[in-house]
Amino acid sequence: MADKRLFRLGDLIPAVGALVLAGILLTAMLSHGEGAYVLVQTPNGEWSWPLSEDTERVVVGQDGLSVTVEVLGGEVRVTRADCPDQVCVHTGAIDESGRAIACLPAGVVLTVVSDRQDAPDAVAR
């Protein structure tokens, strides 16, 4: 007959199992989480650049404002912006799919996507 112990070592088996399962799913998720492209949306058009190629380009937005976008080591960041608030520069580097950097004065939005069809509009719909 079962006694009234509140806990047994056997209880650890499902608990460890759940932790391992969560760990596996988390690592599987993170390994797929990094985006492959950065989608650059400006009033003057859209481009997507692969994150695998290191590059530094000047993107011209509205009102003659431009931002300098740097892709380095699979991450993308804005290194310089004409706008006064510098929010996009302070956002830092992003590499996860779905993350974005926005420079509103210039109307430039950088979004990390997993493939070229994966534009934010397609997801939001």
Q: Which of 4-12, 42-50, 56-64, 111-119 is the region at the interface with another protein (rule: CB under 8 A)?
A: 4-12
* Residues contacting residue 104 through CB under 8 Å, at least 6 positions apart: 83, 87
* Residues contacting residue 64 through CB under 8 Å, at least 6 positions apart: 82
Nearest to another protein of 4, 53 (CB atom): 4
* Residues contacting residue 2 through CB under 8 Å, at least 6 positions apart: none
Look-up: residue for tokens 């996009």? 88
Nearest to another protein of 19, 104 (CB atom): 19
Q: Which of 14-22, 34-42, 52-60, 104-112 is the region at the interface with another protein (rule: CB under 8 A)?
A: 14-22
Query: Can you tell me the distance from the alpha carbon of 47 to that of 100, in angstroms, rounded to the nearest whole number?
Result: 14
Q: Does 58 bind another protein (CB under 8 A)?
A: no
List of residues contacting another protein (CB under 8 A): 2-8, 10-15, 17-19, 21-23, 25-26, 29
